A = this chain, B = another copy of it.
Amino acid sequence: MGMIGGGPGAFIGAVHRIAANIDGEIELVCGAFSSNAEKSKQAGGQLYLTPERSYASFSEMIEKEKALPEDVRMDFVSIVTPNHVHFEPAKLAMENGFDVVLDKPMTFSLAEAHALKQVATQTGRTFCLTHTYTGYPMVKQARQLVASGVLGAIRKVYVEYPQGWLSTFAEGESSNKQAGWRTDPSKSGMAGCMGDIGTHAFNLAEYVSGLQVSAVCAELNIVVPGRALDDDGAVLLKFNNGATGVLMASQIAAGEENNVKVRVYGEKGGIEWQQQDANTLQVKWLDKPTEIYRTGTGYVSSYAAHNSRTPAGHPEGYLEAFANHYRNFALTVKARRTNNEPKPEWLDFPGIEDGVRGMAFVENVVKSGKSNEKWLPFTL
């Protein structure tokens, strides 16, 4: 694996590396960690890479790695830069034959998303978008339960992602690199909160429910004075089967951590999952006791079982969920290179279509947020 971005001060780069490391199947062999050549070499050195494979730019990395013998060169690219540097490296990597793991949201704009989808389609490359939460075993269990029909037709979806970390004008402190770029329209895109965590919530809702959003009514707010992008919002949702829903995302819910939660109700029961109790899935029924599904038990679906590493009761967390995407991506890549059929469980990672829909979500809710009309159709 070669990494683009993720130098000093970056949060998500380290997460990607841990996620890739966990199973001992993926090795970091090179990187373009910074657009500053010196800084990139320094970062590479700290990660036990040689200066030769610590590149000054992603284009240099892709070019030089491509020139290496097949058994030496990187197998795929992991891109962990801010949003405005997603499209170019992903495109270049795929065009040069490299599979790609990309941090969410997929691109800077919906137009870029469509363009990237075209590149992926034309090159046939395997592509993974790291929407972490769908990597949790109990989220997979939830999706399987809904898909099995035991809850009946889905009627209602609630999804929420409250955070409190942007309750103050954190981007005013130069040391807060994270707050800096995530609230900067030139780097983050047209949305702040909705792009950063709203897309996670949206992806989670569609993944678990198996439905697609067809209309939105959004309210986006800039709560902290001086901020350039939305830091809070709520969206009423209509789904393609007639169900409705509510999506809430906030970065000014003071005291909240990363409290993402999803609830889906059908005719006969409902499911509830939240990250703070990630290894538990509540399944509620109209007429019998609530059931508590747990990671690592013997009764979970093959999807949940495949994405778990420890016996029941030994909690797995965020890094393992993240690692599941890497592992499934890698298993799929490996199978395809050896002309084998990837198992359905391996293919269950977020891909280019999730990315396009995520960017459509961003553009639709921003548009709706500015509109006086209540409902806007969800357009791609």
Contacts and interface: CB of A to CB of B under 8 A. Distances in A.
Interface of A: 11, 14-15, 17-18, 21-24, 28, 47-48, 151-152, 155-156, 158, 160, 162-165, 167-168, 217, 219, 221, 223, 232, 234, 236, 244, 246, 248, 250, 252-259, 263, 265-270, 275-279, 283-294, 296-299, 309-320, 371-375
Contact of A319 (B158, B284, B310): B310
Given A244-B221, A315-B278, A293 B299 contact: no
B254 A286 contact: yes
Given A223-B155, A309-B18, A167 B267 contact: yes
Given A290-B292, A371-B374, A156 B284 contact: no
Nearest to A257: B313
B244 A246 contact: no
A151 B254 CA distance: 9
Contacts of A155: 223, 232, 252, 254
Nearest to A372: B374
A259 B165 CA distance: 28
A319 to B, nearest CB: 7
A127 to B, nearest CB: 24
Contact of A255 (B14, B162, B165, B265): B265
A330 to B, nearest CB: 13
A262 to B, nearest CB: 13
A31 to B, nearest CB: 12
A276 B205 CA distance: 25
28 contacts: A15-B309, A21-B23, A22-B319, A155-B223, A164-B286, A167-B267, A168-B286, A217-B374, A219-B244, A246-B248, A250-B265, A253-B270, A255-B265, A255-B270, A255-B283, A257-B313, A258-B313, A278-B315, A287-B298, A289-B292, A289-B299, A290-B292, A314-B318, A315-B317, A316-B318, A317-B320, A372-B374, A372-B375
A143 to B, nearest CB: 17
Which 10 pairs between the two chains have the least Cβ-Cβ distance?
A257-B313, A255-B284, A258-B313, A314-B318, A315-B317, A290-B292, A289-B291, A317-B317, A257-B312, A255-B270
A131 to B, nearest CB: 14
A129 to B, nearest CB: 18
Contacts of A279: 317
A225 to B, nearest CB: 11
Nearest to A47: B24
Residue of A232, A266, A313 with most chain B CB atoms under a 10 A cut-off: A313
A246 B253 CA distance: 13
A46 to B, nearest CB: 10
Contact of A259 (B17, B22, B259, B313): B313
Contacts of A221: 244
Nearest to A160: B158
Contacts of A257: 294, 296-297, 311-314
Nearest to A284: B255
B267 A244 contact: no
A221 B244 CA distance: 9
Contacts of A15: 309-310
Given A155-B223, A278-B315, A309-B18, A267 B254 contact: yes
Given A255-B284, A309-B319, 11 more contacts: A18-B22, A156-B250, A156-B252, A156-B253, A158-B162, A246-B246, A250-B265, A277-B277, A314-B318, A317-B320, A373-B373
